[in-house]
Amino acid sequence: MAKKWVDVVEKTESGFHYLYQKFDIRVYIISLIAGLLIGLVTVPYRYLIVQSVKIRDIIYAHEYSWYIHIAIILGLYGVAMLLYLMIKKTPMITGSGIPQVEGYMCNRFSIKHGIWEPIQKLIGGIVGVGMGLSLGREGPSVQVGGYIGRLVAKWTKLEGSDKRFLISSGAAAGLSSAFTAPLASTIFVHEEITKYQSSRSTALAFLAAVPSGWIAKVVFNNNEYAQMSSAMPDTHELKIMLLTFIALAFFLSVCGKIFNSLLLFFEGFCCKFKLPKPIYILMIILLTYALGFFVPDILAGGEPLIFKNAAVGGSIWLILLLLVIKLVYTPLCYSLGFPGGIFLPLLVIGALAGKLFCLLLCAIGLPYQDYSGFFMLMSMGSIFAVVVRSPITGLVLILEMTCQFTDFFYMIVLVGLTFFISSVMKVQPVYDLLYVRLLPKDYFESTDKIDTKFNIFENSYFIGKSIEVAKVPEGTTIVQFRRDETWIVDKTVPMQEGDLIQVEFESRVLEQAYRSYRVLCNE
């Protein structure tokens, strides 16, 4: 590993001395290149996902004879069973992929199938969304981005903290290509995936997210979200607007809590009711075909529901029906374990909830009939704060997607209120809940030891301390450290900035203690 962070004293003309750090620029260049590579992989994936609507138009056409419809259902079931068998063989490609990236960061999960694993993830995502399952494109993009970041770190011989930076940067690049939102993607990495922030990790994630987002911007240059009307009800009294926002925040919190509860309920549905998985898959395929035949816009991510309902007016009962279907159908599809995320379906749920709320206000006589787009956009960011528990990401993501910066103040108020009310309601972060489901059943009692490496950066707690005197979290042990390509096992030798330490974690403390070491090493 190249030498890092050398203190340099520079004297200015005024006689003052300033201390700055001269760093190894290699990691920054590698992160930039990794982001470009990830964009070249994940943007075509997004393109195929978007184009899959043409396949659904063929699958769910009305003019076929009855026996053609039966043949299509059998074909969809056959494809779904192939996905099921693929997941059984490669379990780590299941679901969103964001919890898997969290596990890659601390070495909880490993990639056992080489380059074939991310390829399967992308193929599974395209096929699952292509047939109409209510899944998003962002989860596979994030997981594949994290995997490519890890692969680039291996190719360039980066270890420890630098390897971790490349994984998180890759995840940011993957999300950036999925939504053309580099800033929100960078924030999401810190708020949800790493739950740790430093100027170094932020710069690296942003460097990877920008080229990936730029490629997405070039390919997807028609932004329908920016064309949505988001007229603000600024003519109303402040107290009325505040009461309206409190009511909307409560409504969105209830919707988010229902979504999380259904997600966990359906995750264990087959085991709870002893239902064979092939039968369960057939049931969902039949439901998917029925929805595709009667309400095709609700399939896959469901973005058409946002654009078609942004106009003024609408039926309360129709929007309520669409919201209920999407709230239930998305957790059902996710429970299959097929590759695909929940970001986009969740944003659609938020938009439908906002539209329903606006129609209800109009029904009781309040003059909000011209503000459907406003309430939809506000609710999209706020539902994200409820379910994912990442309020800043939800705020910035909607601003980047819609370019509606005039709504910024209102969105801050609503997102803050929604986050507070959902906290009072004890809504748990969805990805934390899903992460626990991926852990080995005996992880807390297991005697397995997991090795993870960390670089010691400037101002780290470990500088000047030996292994024997350094106080470390319970259940962890510093085994040795490397200096100038030499591993030192002598526990009396003081550690220095630039050393690479090898830490052994007990399985039960890995996730919590790993973040403590990031702080102790000043990553």
Whether the per-residue pLDDT at 1 is higher than 80: the answer is no
Taking residues 371-381, report their average pLDDT. 85
- Per-residue pLDDT at 378 exceeds 60: yes
Task: State mean pLDDT over 235-250.
Answer: 82
Per-residue three-class SS string for 327-382: HHHHHHHHCCCCCCECHHHHHHHHHHHHHHHHHHHHHCCCCCCCCHHHHHHHHHHH
> Would you state the pLDDT for residue 235?
60
Quick: pLDDT tens for 338-355: 999 888 899 999 999 999
* 231 has pLDDT over 70: no
Return the sign of the alpha-carbon dihedral for residues 75, 81, 83, 85.
negative
pLDDT at residue 196 in the model: 83
Residue 329 has pLDDT above 70, yes or no: yes
pLDDT band at 218 (very low <50, low <70, confident <90, very high): very high
Scored b (16 or more CB within 10 A) or e, 125-156 reads bbbbbbbbbbbbbbbbbbbbbbbbbbbbbeeb
Q: What was the pLDDT predicted at 400?
A: 87
pTM: 0.88
Mean pLDDT on 313-329: 90
Question: What CATH number does domain 225-274+285-438 carry, 3.30.70.260, 1.10.3080.10, 3.40.50.720, 3.40.30.10?
Answer: 1.10.3080.10
Residue 11, pLDDT above cutoff 60: no
Check residue 17 and give its pLDDT. Answer: 37
Overall average pLDDT of the 211-237 stretch: 78
Local structure of residue 424 (DSSP, 8 states): H
For residue 12, what pLDDT is reported?
40
Q: Between vectors from CA 410 to CA 405 and to CA 411, what angle results, nearest 5°?
A: 70
Per-residue pLDDT band for 20 (boundaries 50, 70, 90) equals very low
What's the CATH superfamily of 26-219? Clc chloride channel (1.10.3080.10)
pLDDT at 287: 94
Q: pLDDT digit string (tens) for 21-55?
A: 445 688 899 999 999 999 999 999 999 998 988 88
| Per-residue model confidence (pLDDT) at position 15 | 42
Please give the Cα distance from 70 to 356 (Å, whole number).
36
Structure confidence by residue, pLDDT tens digits, 277-307:
899 999 999 999 999 989 888 998 888 888 8
Q: What is the pLDDT of residue 234?
A: 65
* pLDDT at residue number 5: 37
Q: CATH code for 449-520? A: 3.30.70.1450
Query: What local confidence, expressed as pLDDT, does residue 7 receive?
Result: 41
DSSP track, 36-100: HHHHHHHHHHHHHHHHHHHHHHHHT-S-S-HHHHHHHHHHHHHHHHHHHHHHHHSGGG-S-SHHH
Same fold, 225-274+285-438 and 449-520: no
Whole-angstrom Cα distance, residue 174 to residue 37?
Answer: 10
What pLDDT, on the 0 to 100 scale, is given for residue 3?
40
Domain residue extents for the chain: 26-219, 225-274+285-438, 449-520
The residue count for the chain:
523
pLDDT above 80 for 310: no
Strands 486-488, 500-506: parallel, antiparallel or unpaired by DSSP? unpaired
Q: Residue 403 corresponds to which tokens in the numbers above?
A: 């370019």
The two structure tokens encoding residue 399: 């601003």
C-alpha–C-alpha distance, residues 462 and 419, integer Å? 37
- Report pLDDT for 229: 67
Of the listed ranges 36-50, 80-94, 234-248, the one predicted with least confidence: 234-248
* pLDDT tens readout for residues 131-148: 999 998 888 999 999 999
Please, what is the average pLDDT of the chain? 86
- Most confident range (mean pLDDT) of 105-119, 369-383, 402-416, 489-503 is 489-503
Give residue 144's pLDDT. 94
How sure is the predictor about 19, in pLDDT bands with cuts at 50, 70 and 90? very low
Contacts of 238 (CB under 8 A, 6+ apart): none
For 144, the enclosing helix (H) or strand (E) is helix 138-155
Q: What is the mean pLDDT of the segment spanning 218-242?
A: 74
